[in-house]
């Protein structure tokens, strides 16, 4: 099978590919709102029909929530699973959109042509780059270059409640040599990247209780213990002056960055001053011996996400509150155990409580980090061909956020995941006026064609 005719077909077929994407974007498949259940079903049906249009045996699989779409095609060489999600975020606030979010259009901007619609970037546009690459391969060569399983989810934007049961129930059907996910982006909107490490997440809510009711600070202030005072002291001890987290055993399982990966990251020329300057900051505040890029991609964090206690309305009320509450999240890396982190944090908090103050804890999720085995030949092969398409050498990168499905593919299906995406930093995903560059869509299709070509060999 030859690659060049496939790339030429992709170029010639781009208008038709855009029309197909627009058809999918017009379906308001908002998974978190029950009012759109029928639309999520319609999006799944659309994908089944589209895959069938170029010979993929696909079906809609019912779940307790929104359906999955699964399709298979047999071929020579390795077997890959491609994952994407067809559901989208709500569009509120609607008055901040410049057009109907489900009436997609091409717009001219100062940076080039963009596709404006909800889901254009996250994740319908990205999903369709892979589908269109497969369509072009099939049309030009009469077959695909390797065995492929297509796996599309309809609940990613609403917590994926059906995903783990579905993976466990269909593990044998879904297993492949490697998984591919297109739900990420270019580094600084220009450099192709393959994400090889994702941070895990552990959330914890703390409620401290002191007196049995709110008290007048003039009558009780001084002799009475204030839970807000206790909470701020404890959370103030969470980091030392060098930015290191003080919870015992917190750094158990945290690896050092591999020299080759560190070299690739240094070559990216990340400007932390500009990165922080864009949000009104100037100096990195984390572990002082680490670069800002390391802090974002390969180091764990502990952050206070919210605090409340006492009177917070307009004006002033001299109250000594009965309760004080905070939400704390931990981003995890390497082999850190989120459950051990939670228990160690609770023990650490309890040890700092004075008499007359008690603590209650409420857990908010616990997912470990994901580390991909870049020794799999598909990773280096894909990295090698992306530079030809984008004009910049691709790099293995990390992700500061969490993409749980990649971890589930590893823990449940036993396979590593290659995360490659074409989104740009200004795509405004989850926000009004979401967009996806026409260049990202076009080059994304061509990029997947190149990746399929090289990993099939």
Asked if 132 and 41 sit in the same domain, the reply is yes
First to last CA, the chain: 10
pLDDT tens digits, residue range 6-64?
999 999 999 999 999 999 999 999 999 999 999 999 999 999 999 999 999 999 999 99
Mean pLDDT of the chain: 95
Last residue of a domain, one of 350, 367, 384: 367
pLDDT over 80 at 402, yes or no: no
Q: Are 69 and 40 in contact (CB under 8 A)?
A: no
Asked if 168 and 218 sit in the same domain, the reply is no
pLDDT over 90 at 356, yes or no: yes
> Domain tally for the chain?
2
Asked if 70 and 187 sit in the same domain, the reply is yes
Asked if 183 and 208 sit in the same domain, the reply is no
Quote the radius of gyration of the chain (alpha carbons, Å).
25
Asked if 389 and 359 sit in the same domain, the reply is no
Asked if 189 and 333 sit in the same domain, the reply is no
pLDDT tens digits, residue range 421-454?
999 999 999 999 999 999 999 999 999 999 999 9
pLDDT tens digits, residue range 232-283?
999 999 999 999 999 999 999 999 999 999 999 999 999 999 999 988 999 9
Mean pLDDT computed over 407-425: 94
Tell me the pairing of strands 147-153 and 301-309.
unpaired
Decide: residue 370, CB within 10 A, 0-12 exposed, 13-18 middle, 19+ buried.
buried
Domain coverage including residue 235:
200-254+300-367
Provide the pLDDT for residue 403.
82
Asked if 247 and 333 sit in the same domain, the reply is yes
pLDDT over 90 at 352, yes or no: yes
The CATH number for 14's domain is 3.40.630.10
Mean pLDDT computed over 297-301: 96
Asked if 207 and 247 sit in the same domain, the reply is yes
pTM: 0.86
Asked if 17 and 73 sit in the same domain, the reply is yes
In angstroms, the CA 326 to CA 377 distance is 45
Provide the pLDDT for residue 326.
98
pLDDT tens digits, residue range 210-234?
999 999 999 999 999 999 999 999 9
Asked if 181 and 207 sit in the same domain, the reply is no
Asked if 45 and 158 sit in the same domain, the reply is yes
């Amino acid at each position: 099978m030859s690659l060049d005719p496939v790339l030429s077909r992709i170029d010639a077929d781009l208008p038709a590919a855009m029309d197909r994407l627009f058809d999918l974007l017009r379906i308001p498949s908002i998974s978190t709102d029950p009012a759109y259940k029928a639309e999520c079903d319609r999006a799944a049906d659309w994908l089944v029909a589209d895959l069938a249009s170029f010979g993929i045996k696909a079906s809609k699989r019912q779940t307790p929530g929104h359906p999955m779409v699964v399709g298979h095609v047999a071929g020579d060489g390795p077997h890959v699973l491609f994952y994407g999600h067809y559901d989208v975020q709500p569009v509120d606030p609607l008055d901040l959109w410049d057009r109907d979010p489900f009436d997609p259009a091409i717009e001219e901007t100062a940076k080039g042509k963009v596709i404006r619609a909800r889901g254009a970037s996250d994740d319908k546009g990205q999903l369709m780059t892979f589908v269109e690459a497969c369509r072009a391969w099939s049309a030009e060569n009469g077959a695909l270059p390797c065995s492929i399983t297509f796996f599309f989810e309809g609940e990613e934007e609403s917590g994926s409640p059906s995903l783990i049961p579905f993976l466990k129930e269909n593990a044998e059907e879904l297993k492949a040599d490697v998984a591919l996910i297109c739900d990420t982006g270019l580094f600084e909107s220009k450099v192709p990247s393959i994400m090889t490490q994702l941070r895990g997440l552990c959330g914890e809510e703390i409620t401290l209780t002191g007196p049995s009711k709110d008290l007048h600070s003039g009558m009780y202030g001084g002799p009475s213990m204030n839970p807000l005072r206790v909470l701020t002291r404890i959370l103030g001890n969470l980091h030392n002056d060098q930015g290191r987290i003080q919870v015992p055993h917190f750094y158990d399982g945290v690896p050092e960055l591999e020299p080759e990966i560190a070299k690739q990251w240094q070559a990216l020329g990340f400007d932390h001053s500009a990165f922080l300057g864009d949000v009104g900051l100037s100096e990195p505040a984390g572990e002082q011996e680490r670069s800002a890029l390391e802090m974002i991609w390969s180091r764990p964090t502990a952050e206070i996400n919210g605090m409340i206690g006492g009177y917070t309305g307009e004006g002033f009320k001299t109250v000594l509150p009965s309760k004080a509450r905070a939400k704390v999240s931990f981003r995890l890396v390497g082999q850190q155990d989120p459950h051990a982190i939670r228990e160690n944090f609770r023990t650490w908090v309890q040890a700092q409580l004075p008499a007359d103050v008690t603590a209650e804890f409420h857990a908010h999720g616990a997912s470990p980090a994901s580390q991909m085995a870049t020794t799999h030949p598909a990773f280096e092969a894909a990295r090698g061909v992306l530079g030809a398409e984008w004009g910049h050498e691709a790099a293995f990168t990390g992700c500061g956020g969490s993409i749980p499905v990649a971890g589930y593919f590893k823990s449940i299906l036993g396979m590593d995941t290659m995360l490659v995406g074409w989104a740009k930093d200004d795509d405004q995903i989850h926000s009004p006026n979401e967009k996806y560059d026409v260049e990202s869509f076009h080059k994304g299709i061509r990029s997947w064609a190149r990746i399929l070509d090289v990993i099939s060999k």
